[in-house]
Structures are given as C-alpha cells and as structure tokens.
C-alpha cells in the first residue's frame, strides 16, 4: 500500500492507493497517523518534477488525437478536438478512446469539453463531463461552479467569499466596472477569456523528436515478471507518441537501472516497421523470459531514437480481410535468442563458391541473378575424394554430367583457384557438387550436396 505526502515539516497525506484508503488512510491525515493504521504503508514525498515529466509525457501521448495540444500546469492537458471529431467518429467515441487510453496508462482523469480552454478546465476540475458547443451556453453551464475553479490567489477568493459570493455565476453578475476597479482589469480579462469574449491563445506543445521515458519503481524489483506492468505503460506511451508523429520503429531500447546508476540495456528489434503496442509487448516478454537479473532494478527507461516514416497502405474497396497485428516468428526468435543468433544469407557476385555468399539482415536477403545450378549446402572445407584410375569415388564410382563449369579467379587477392566443377551422382542416387584441380596435384574434392 502506498501514500504520497507533501514536503513540509508537518507531513500529511496528499494521495493514497485504494487499498490504503480501505484501511482508513485519507487526504490531509498526518503521516504518523496513517502509519499507525497501516504498518506496512510505503510513503513517498511528492515529486513535482516527476509530475511535470508525466504531464509532458501525457501531452506527447495525446498528440495522436489532436495536432493542437497545450500543457496547462500543474495537472492539465488541453486538446483542440473540433477538427478531430469526424476522424474519430464523434465526441462520444473520441472521449471514450481518450478515457480508456488514460486509464490504461495508469492515470485517473476528469475530462470536459467547452469552446474555451478555461471553461473546459473549470468543468473538468469539478468533474462535469459536459459537451458544450456554443459559447453562448457557457455562462449558464459555469454558473453553479464553486469559486475554487478560478485560478486566482487565495486572499482574493477569501475577499469574494466575505462579500457573500460563493459561485462563479455570482461573480459574473457583478458590475464589470466595479469588478475591474476592485480586483484589477486582469481578472475581468480572465473571465472574458473563459466565456469566449476575448481570445485565449495557448502555447502549443511540440512532441520531442526522440522518445525518452524513465519511471521509478515503488520498490526494488528482483524478478522480471514484476516489471511487465511498468513496461506495458511505457510501451503504450511510446505507441501514442508514434501515432502522434505519424511514424513507426524497427527497434527500441529498454534500460533497467540499478544502484549506483548502473544499468542493463536490452534492445528490441523488428525486421519491419511497426507501432503496435501488442507486438512490442510480445517481444518484450520474450526478451525478459531469458533475462537473469544480477542486481535489483530501481528504475525502468524506454528509449526510441530512430523514428521512421510509416508507409501509407491502400486497401481494396471490397477487401474484407481484417489485418491483425501478429508478431512475426523472426522477431520472436530474435527477442528470445538474441540478434546474433538470427541471420540471413545473401548471394554475392563472386565466381568462387566459398566467397559467393555473406550474412545479411534477416528478411532482407538478396538473390544472385546467375542461373547456374549450385547446391544449397556447401561444406565448410572441401573434402578430398579417393579416386579409382583418376576417377572420383564416393561410396563407389561417381557418374558425372557431361557439362562442366570452369572457374579461374581470385588472382588479385592471393586466393586464386583453377577448377572444373561437375554435378555427380552416386550409386544410391545422391547428387553432389565436386571439382577437379587444374593445377598442382589435380585432386578431386567434394564441395557441395544437392538436396
């Protein structure tokens, strides 16, 4: 069970988890009293910097729903959604998607919409989930809100309270001249911006070009399974950032931070671009299953540097096939066994068989346009064959095809060869690729086997 306290000398509880609340812990309770109720209560001081980082991370995630996002400290993100309603299927669908996404990230949000930022903020503070389209309806919708929604100083609110003003609607009924003269013209401008009588320009938030997100764990973790919840949250933030940027990834990095700022680095790679959270999490689980932690983990960080442009896909008008975000077998093998264990093969424009191939990125192998018949299986080292009257034998005399392939190459790198290659068959029907030296001892060698 967890509680967050303020940083003053007389510490009191600001927030607590639901299990702690069931044990009697509540806001404004002294920390000593809370610990008397719950002996194993974990108390963390409030971290305003961490809250600000979380707010900006939420703004980057919300960028997928609107291109106009503003951060309104200390705990509000503003979105201009009028231009997104048709794209997402209307207000109710968009609101539901935002609400579900925020809850999946581990946050609890109060959402409201209004023609002006201050009106939407005020309604959200009072948990009034209203959808107000016309600015002319704002005064009536805001009338019953308490004065605490106003971003004014406490002494000013106390003065209004002493005048018998309890609700926002009562403030709006005060004479404008007297309100400006008594409390200042800036307060009148504040109310006009709330009601849409004056413009209220906001500073637009710009998502970072690279994704960096680091979360501190409540307690040290020694088992990889315990990190999946935090990684799920980080991956969802990453995918929200990718949707907002209109991009995708082929690899990202996880850093598990230990004591003394030491860390374990894990790289998750895909052979095709993607931004699907389900795909990412499957690969993360595969990678963690074979990870043995040498030290407990205190913090988890997710990094993505190389943002790739996602190719547009055109669908057939009558195509009823539903595309699923299935994880490719190649990616799962790479996540489980490591990148070095999975490699592809590519043909190289080279006459010498032992140098006519190279390793390549899996899934991006290249083929040679040469139509000569070559075996798929080459021996690591050619095997010398015994001969019978200078005729090659392998479990008996071999039968050679009449056609031959002569290779004389490699003089420039001091690995020159001069050989005649033949396709040969044994008495059992097996097919081999053999060659005869044109110089030196003129021996016969087996170099490849046809399937």
Tens digit of each residue's pLDDT (9 = 90 or more) over 283-295:
999 889 888 888 9
pLDDT at res. 314: 45
Q: Does residue 52 contact residue 72 with C-beta atoms inside 8 Å? A: no
For helices 185-195 and 117-125, angle between their N-to-C axes, nearest 10 degrees? 90
d(CA 52, CA 42): 22
The predicted model gives 329-355 an average pLDDT of 73
Domains in the chain, CATH or no CATH each:
2-46 (3.40.1170.60), 54-195 (no CATH), 211-311+327-335 (3.30.1490.100), 373-449 (no CATH)
Judged by average pLDDT, the poorest of 41-55, 161-175, 183-197, 327-341 is 327-341
The predicted model gives 221-248 an average pLDDT of 93
Radius of gyration of the chain (CA): 35
d(CA 134, CA 132): 6
Report whether pLDDT(365) > 70: no
pLDDT at res. 315: 41
- 3-state class of 259 per DSSP? helix
Within 8 A by CB and 6+ apart from 20, the residues are 1, 2, 3, 34, 38, 41
C-alpha distances in Å from residue 203, one per residue of 79, 199, 206, 340 = 12, 13, 9, 46
d(CA 41, CA 255): 28
Report whether pLDDT(369) > 60: no
The fraction of the chain above a pLDDT of 90, given in percent, is 59
Q: Which residues of 82-95 are buried (b: 16+ CB within 10 A; e: fewer)?
A: eebeeebeeeeebb
The enclosing H or E element of 154 equals helix 154-162
Q: DSSP letter at 30?
A: B
pLDDT at res. 319: 41
Average pLDDT, the chain: 88
- 3-state class of 285 per DSSP? helix
Q: Which residues of 416-426 are buried (b: 16+ CB within 10 A; e: fewer)?
A: ebebbbbbbee
Strands 42-45 and 2-5, by their bridges, are parallel
The enclosing H or E element of 217 equals strand 211-221
Judged by average pLDDT, the poorest of 277-281, 358-362, 427-431 is 358-362
Tell me the pTM. Answer: 0.72
How many other β-carbons are positioned within 10 Å of the β-carbon of residue 362? 18
Q: Give the model's confidence band at 368: pLDDT under 50 very low, under 70 low, under 90 confident, else very high.
A: low
Judged by average pLDDT, the poorest of 62-71, 250-259, 274-283, 405-414 is 405-414
Q: Does residue 302 contact residue 235 with C-beta atoms inside 8 Å? A: yes
The predicted model gives 119-128 an average pLDDT of 91
d(CA 179, CA 185): 8
Task: Report residue 401 as tokens.
Answer: 């095809």
d(CA 131, CA 94): 12
d(CA 55, CA 73): 8
- 3-state class of 316 per DSSP? coil
Cis before 74? omega within 30: yes
Task: Report residue 286 as tokens.
Answer: 């595969």
The enclosing H or E element of 284 equals helix 277-289
C-alpha distances in Å from residue 436, one per residue of 199, 287, 431, 442 = 88, 49, 16, 6
Residue of 45, 41, 57, 39 whose CA lies nearest to 9 = 45
């Amino acid at each position: 069970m967890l509680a967050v306290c303020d940083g003053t000398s007389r510490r009191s509880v600001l927030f607590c988890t639901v299990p702690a609340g069931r044990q009697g812990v509540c806001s404004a309770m002294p920390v000593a009293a809370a610990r008397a109720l719950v002996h194993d209560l974990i108390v963390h001081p409030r971290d305003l910097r961490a809250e600000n980082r979380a707010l900006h991370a939420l703004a980057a995630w919300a960028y997928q729903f609107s291109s106009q996002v503003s951060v309104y400290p200390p705990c509000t993100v503003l979105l201009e959604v009028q231009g997104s309603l048709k794209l997402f299927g209307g207000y109710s669908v968009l609101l539901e998607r935002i609400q579900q996404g925020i809850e999946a990230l581990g946050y609890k949000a109060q959402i409201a919409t209004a023609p002006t930022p201050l009106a939407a903020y005020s309604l959200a503070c009072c948990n009034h989930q209203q959808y107000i389209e016309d600015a002319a309806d704002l005064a009536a919708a805001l009338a019953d809100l308490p004065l605490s929604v106003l971003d004014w100083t406490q002494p000013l609110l106390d003065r209004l309270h002493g005048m018998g003003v309890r609700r926002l609607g009562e403030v709006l009924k005060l004479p404008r001249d007297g309100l400006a003269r008594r409390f200042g013209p800036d307060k009148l401008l504040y109310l006009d911006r709330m009601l849409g009588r004056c413009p209220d320009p906001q500073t637009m938030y710009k998502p970072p070009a690279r994704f960096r997100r680091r979360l501190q764990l409540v307690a040290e973790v020694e088992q990889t399974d315990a990190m999946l919840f935090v990684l799920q949250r980080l991956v969802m933030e990453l995918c929200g950032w990718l949707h907002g940027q209109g991009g995708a990834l082929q690899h990202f990095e996880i850093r598990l931070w230990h004591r003394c700022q030491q860390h374990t680095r894990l790289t998750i790679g895909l052979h095709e671009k993607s931004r699907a959270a389900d795909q990412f999490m499957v690969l993360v689980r595969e990678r963690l299953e074979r990870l043995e932690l040498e030290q407990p983990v205190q913090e988890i960080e997710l990094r993505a540097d190389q943002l790739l442009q996602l190719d547009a896909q055109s669908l057939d008008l009558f195509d009823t096939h539903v595309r699923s975000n299935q994880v490719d077998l190649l990616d799962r093998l790479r996540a489980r066994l490591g990148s070095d264990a999975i490699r592809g093969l590519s043909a190289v424009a080279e006459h010498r068989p032992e140098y006519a191939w190279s390793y390549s990125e899996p899934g991006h192998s290249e083929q040679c346009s040469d139509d000569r018949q070559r075996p798929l299986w080459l021996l690591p080292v050619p095997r010398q064959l015994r001969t019978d009257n200078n005729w090659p034998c392998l479990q008996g005399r071999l039968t050679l095809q009449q056609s031959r392939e002569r290779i004389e190459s490699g003089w420039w790198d001091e690995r020159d060869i001069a050989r005649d290659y033949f396709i040969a068959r044994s008495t059992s029907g097996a097919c081999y690729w053999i060659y005869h030296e044109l110089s030196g001892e003129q021996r016969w060698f087996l170099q490849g086997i046809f399937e």
